[in-house]
Structure 1
Amino acid sequence: MFAGLRFAFGTLSVLRVRVSRWDRPTAGRAMLCAPLVGLVLGLLAAVPGAALDRLGGGPLLAAVACVAALGALTRGLHLDGLADVADGLGSNKPPAAALAVMKASDIGPFGVVVLLLVLLAQIASLARAFGVGAGAGAFAVLLAATAGRAALLLGCRVGTPSARPDGLGAMVAGTVRSRYAALVALAVLALLGAGGWAVGGLGGAGHGGWGARAALGALLAPLCGLACAAALLTRCVRRFGGITGDVLGAMVETSATAALLVWTLFAAS
């Protein structure tokens, strides 16, 4: 598991970690550790946003700082995957040609539009969450980052094929057993639900019912994120014949954005 943990942090973040093993069994363990990577990245990204909010920078600046920090902590890896998948799906070409479009180094109009809309949705949602309070905003970052990486449990389950014979997608495709994925997902839900309850409790006695509502939102948000990621996965497998590293990155951003939107609606209600 330690080799898998190093694999996860070394692959999914910019944190300097020595990857000692690069094989499919280790890749499977790494994907099981992916939500933990998201938790750590979310905590790190929440710091500048919460600091700016406390210093009077305002919710919008805090939201931009958090989104920028998450992008920097991953080298924009998942955002790049999102743009590539948008171009591939929008190309209306046969699977092999669509995969070639995704592998190209440039970005097309579909990728630009989708990337812009997703980033705007993330910033707007985070700004609204920080408008509720610094705690709600910081927790929103943590929840989104964790829910996003939890989507990798879906994308790498046993039975999910790889669209290419090489690359990261081929390395991790089909390496996660469903029962282990379910156990990790339940642990993530329990942790986020407890975190939501704690954040709601910080509102004080004047916010009656906020703790329970926050906990419910923290449970429903990642579930909605995973549902959206699963829908994207189904579409990509049918369209491309399997997953690629770009598809996994797009699933991360899709799950994170959907979870963030749902949590913000609960927090702001």
Structure 2
Amino acid sequence: MFTTPPLHGLRFAFGTLTVLPVRVTRWDRETARGGMLCAPLAGMVVGALAALLGAGLLLLGAGPLLAAVATVAVPAALTRGLHLDGLADTADGLGSAKPAEEALRIMKRSDIGPFGVVTLVFVLLAQVAALAQAYGGSWARGALAAVVSATTARLALTLATRTGVPAARPEGLGAAVAGVVPLRGALAVAAAVVVAAAAGGALPGTYGVVRTATAVLLALVAAHLLLRHCTRRFGGLTGDVCGAVAETAATAVLVVLSLS
């Protein structure tokens, strides 16, 4: 039964998923459960700040490309590149074709290998290109895309930490959050985010209800497929896999929204 005060869960979400000055006062699995359930709220704040900068630059006369670059830079800065680093490490681990234990050791190294570099380049290019197209349509489209992608990225973490997903290691962030979220709770949060995204898509000058909701759902499918592959390949969830899942969901949302 979930008895931790909601404030502790919010602190955990913002304290572990952003660099905003929020102090985590409790570190246990019950608090982690609340934190992962609140993860989309942290994403919404990150996305709103990214949208504010991107749309602000566009309205001040900057082109869509510069607005897109700024929008992509904000989430990277607000997480100290944690999710991007996880994406790169996961790509190196998967690309190594080594047994699980050796692949996990590769992922723990501080350097980034060729698979990680190439993955980062293409993912960031895809995000910038999709956002540039969105801002080219209108500032509202770009702002909504930024908020929805960041929120969906953290929603993917809520779903990735549901019960039944094991940890690949006995230590680390992955072990702290793996399996902490009840499936019903994860699905309820997912439904709320999809409805909120659809409502955003109904705003004038944006994408429409169906297109926005579909983008979120397809992004969650992409994140789920990556998570399933990683759990089979590495034996469970790690902090790096969490980052990879988040960046995959964020990129997938933007790509789907860019499709006509």
- Output the CA distance in 1 between the equivalents of 2:22 and 2:57: 29
Paired residue for 2:218?
Answer: 224
The answer to whether 1:5 aligns with 2:10 is yes
- Output the CA distance in 2 between the equivalents of 1:7 and 1:110: 31
Cα shift readout 1:102-139 (whole Å, capped 9, x = no counterpart): 00000000000000000000000000000000010011
Aligned AA (1:224): L
Cα shift readout 1:51-75 (whole Å, capped 9, x = no counterpart): 1111111100000000011110111
Paired residue for 1:84?
Answer: 89
Tell whether the 8 Å contact from 1:37 to 1:149 is kept in structure 2 after alignment.
Answer: yes
The answer to whether 1:262 aligns with 2:238 is no
1:213-252 mapped onto 2 (5 Å cutoff): 214-252=208-246
Paired residue for 1:112?
Answer: 117
Paired residue for 1:121?
Answer: 126
Aligned to 2:53, which of 45, 48, 54? 48
Secondary structure of 1:40's partner?
A: helix
Aligned to 1:93, which of 84, 87, 98? 98
Paired residue for 1:73?
Answer: 78
Unmatched segments (≥5 aa) in structure 2: 1-5
Aligned AA (2:244): A
| C-alpha deviation, 1:264, in angstroms | 2.0
Tell whether the 8 Å contact from 1:151 to 1:229 is kept in structure 2 after alignment.
Answer: yes
Aligned AA (1:214): G
- Output the CA distance in 2 between the equivalents of 1:184 and 1:234: 20
Cα shift readout 1:139-165 (whole Å, capped 9, x = no counterpart): 100010001110012210101100000
Aligned to 1:168, which of 133, 150, 173? 173
| C-alpha deviation, 1:232, in angstroms | 0.3
Cα shift readout 1:207-265 (whole Å, capped 9, x = no counterpart): xxxx7x52111100111110000000010011000010000010000001001111122
Aligned AA (2:53): P
Secondary structure of 2:202's partner?
A: helix
- Output the CA distance in 1 between the equivalents of 2:118 and 2:143: 27
The answer to whether 1:134 aligns with 2:139 is yes
- Output the CA distance in 2 between the equivalents of 1:196 and 1:73: 25
Identity level (%) = 60
Aligned to 2:36, which of 31, 53, 67? 31
Tell whether the 8 Å contact from 1:140 to 1:264 is kept in structure 2 after alignment.
Answer: no
**TM-score, structure 2 length as denominator?**
0.97
Aligned pairs, how many?
Answer: 255
**TM-score, structure 1 length as denominator?**
0.93
The answer to whether 1:158 aligns with 2:152 is no
- Output the CA distance in 1 between the equivalents of 2:27 and 2:158: 18
Secondary structure of 2:22's partner?
A: coil
Structure 1 residue ranges, 4+ long, deviating more than 3 angstroms after superposition: none
1:164-203 mapped onto 2 (5 Å cutoff): 164-198=169-203, 201=204, 203=205
- Output the CA distance in 2 between the equivalents of 1:23 and 1:3: 10
- Output the CA distance in 2 between the equivalents of 1:241 and 1:17: 32
- Output the CA distance in 1 between the equivalents of 2:196 and 2:254: 16
Paired residue for 1:102?
Answer: 107
Aligned to 2:65, which of 43, 49, 60? 60
- Output the CA distance in 1 between the equivalents of 2:45 and 2:31: 20
- Output the CA distance in 1 between the equivalents of 2:52 and 2:99: 44
- Output the CA distance in 1 between the equivalents of 2:14 and 2:134: 28
Aligned AA (2:73): A
